[in-house]
Amino acid sequence: MLASVCANAVTVTITTDEGFDDPAIIEKMQQNLGEVLTEINNAYKGNRDVNTAGLKMDDHAKNMLVTLWSTVHFYCDDEEVVDRCWPLKKGYLLRQIPLIIDPQDEAFTSGTYQEAVIEFGKDGMITDFRFALDAQLSESMERCGSVVETERRMIILDYIEQFRTAYCTKNLNFMEKIFSDDALIITGKVVMSKPDDLGQSNAKVEYNRQNKQQYLSNLRRAFLRNKYIEVKFSEIGDGGSGGGCPGITQSRNNPDFYGVRLRQEWRSSSYSDDGYVFLLWDFRDEQNPVIHVRTWQPTMIAAGGTSQKLPEEEIFNISSVEDMIP
């Protein structure tokens, strides 16, 4: 174990912006989350499963917590957790709940510190429990894309986190729901040319198109053959290797369509890769947004005997992807 002692009982303090005046709901959220974190610590110390009976969580949140626990164990090392509340139309959100990870598999490489995202309903019941994107990426997504209103950015960020968690927990049902029925999935593959007179080969990227069912069938097989899957998102926007703005791009043709470009690192027990992912989101139904297009391209290709980054102008963006929608 990473530590012999962790804080068993955890108290939670929620801060709010000026104008938010509902101390009763804040008290409920503080108590409900404190009980969950305390149970997580007790389960970690006792080397047992998390007991969700009696916790103020709905069935979805309980299932998410149990699923995460089956993948990796964790605990809260703070006796008091202080976080800011983000009010949303459907409830409330906390984004930076500190956890310490105790990997059950040596191949798990995300590090030992992980923040959790907690969602609450209007009644203070916990409705979701998931791991957050890394802090730098989360900050970038919140800061970038000034054309997108703050709440919509937060919602998109939430769905990106859920999307990543679905890969790591092998949640095929979520993938079935999040891709539209006519979704287009484009995957790049590096193909080497024949060696020239100097024995050097150059690479080009060829693209394979799949529909939703083809992609899900391949994903199902990947879930079955891998003991673990770890997906990390980093860098965002059109700023090259350092990321940058705009992180979330709103369509000029349809204000309910948004594009997000991420760098994805995929690590599993049988395969690893590193590439750029672009997701075209449709928020016409705000309660059930869907992905119309997902693209993947390798970050590096071979050229003249060396490896070079995929040229910026070749990386998919919202302008190049929108025309692909049926």
The pLDDT score that the predictor gives to residue 240 is 39
229 pLDDT above the threshold of 70: yes
35-39, 188-192, 222-226, 266-270: range with lowest mean pLDDT: 188-192
Q: How confident is the model at residue 72 (pLDDT cuts 50, 70, 90)?
A: confident
Q: Are 293 and 207 in contact (CB under 8 A)?
A: no
Task: Report phi then psi at 49, rounded to 5.
Answer: -75, 155
Tokens (6 digits) for 51? 């007991």
The residue ranges of DSSP E strands in the chain, in sequence order, are: 11-15, 73-75, 80-88, 91-102, 113-120, 126-131, 179-192, 203-211, 229-236, 248-250, 257-268, 272-282, 290-298, 300-303, 306-309
Q: Worst-scoring range by mean pLDDT, 30-44, 125-139, 173-187, 229-243?
A: 229-243
- Local structure of 56: helix, strand or coil: coil
| Among 76-90, 139-153, 233-247, the range of highest mean pLDDT | 76-90
The two tokens of residue 42 are 């007790």
Q: Residue 5: is its pLDDT beyond 50? A: no
**Local confidence band at 14 (pLDDT 50, 70, 90 cut-offs):** very high
Q: What pLDDT is attached to residue 78?
A: 92
- Taking phi first (over 0 means left), then psi (-120 to 50 degrees means alpha), and beta for anything else, what does residue 263 get? beta
CA 69 to chain CA centroid, nearest Å:
17
Name the percent of the chain lying above pLDDT 90: 45
Q: At residue 2, does pLDDT exceed 50?
A: no
Q: Which residue has the higher pLDDT, 313 or 58?
A: 58
The identity of residue 67, as a single letter, is: T
**pLDDT band at residue 247 using 50, 70 and 90 as cut-offs:** low
Per-position b or e across 46-75, b if 16+ CB within 10 A of its CB: eeeebebeebbbeeebbebbebbbebbbbb
pLDDT of residue 243: 43
Give the residue, 135 or 162, on which the prediction is more confident.
162
The yes-or-no verdict on residue 137 having pLDDT over 70 is no
Q: What domains sit in the chain, N to C, each tagged with a CATH number?
A: 11-132 (3.10.450), 172-322 (3.10.450.50)
DSSP-derived letter for residue 202 is -
Give φ, ψ of 224 to 5 degrees: -70, -35
SS3 call for 44: helix
24/313 Cα distance (integer angstroms): 52
More confident residue, 19 or 317: 317
Q: Are residues 170 and 229 in contact, defined by beta-carbon separation less than 8 angstroms?
A: yes
Is it the case that residue 23 has pLDDT exceeding 50? yes
If you average pLDDT over residues 59-83, what whole number do you get? 91
pTM over 0.85: no
Q: What is the pLDDT of residues 194-218, one digit of tens each?
A: 666 555 566 678 899 999 999 999 9
**117: nearest Cα among 140, 104, 134:** 134
Q: Which whole number is the average pLDDT over 277-295? A: 92
Task: Give the chain's largest Cα–Cα span.
Answer: 77
Query: Which residues make Cβ contacts (< 8 Å) with residue 276, sequence separation at least 6?
Result: 261, 262, 263, 264, 295, 296, 297, 298, 299, 310, 315, 316
Q: Which residues, at least 6 apart from 211, have a Cβ–Cβ distance to it below 8 Å?
A: 182, 183, 184, 185
pLDDT at 111: 56
Find all residues with CB under 8 Å of 41, minimum gap 6, and list them: 6, 7, 8, 9, 10, 75, 76
276: phi then psi, degrees, rounded to nearest 5: -95, 130
Residue 245's pLDDT band (cuts 50, 70, 90): very low
pLDDT tens digit sequence for 27-52: 999 999 999 999 999 999 999 999 99
Average pLDDT, integer, range 292-312: 81
How much is the pLDDT for 199? 57
Over residues 270-282, mean pLDDT:
91
pLDDT reading at 88 higher than 60 = yes
- 222 CB neighbour count, 10 Å cutoff: 16
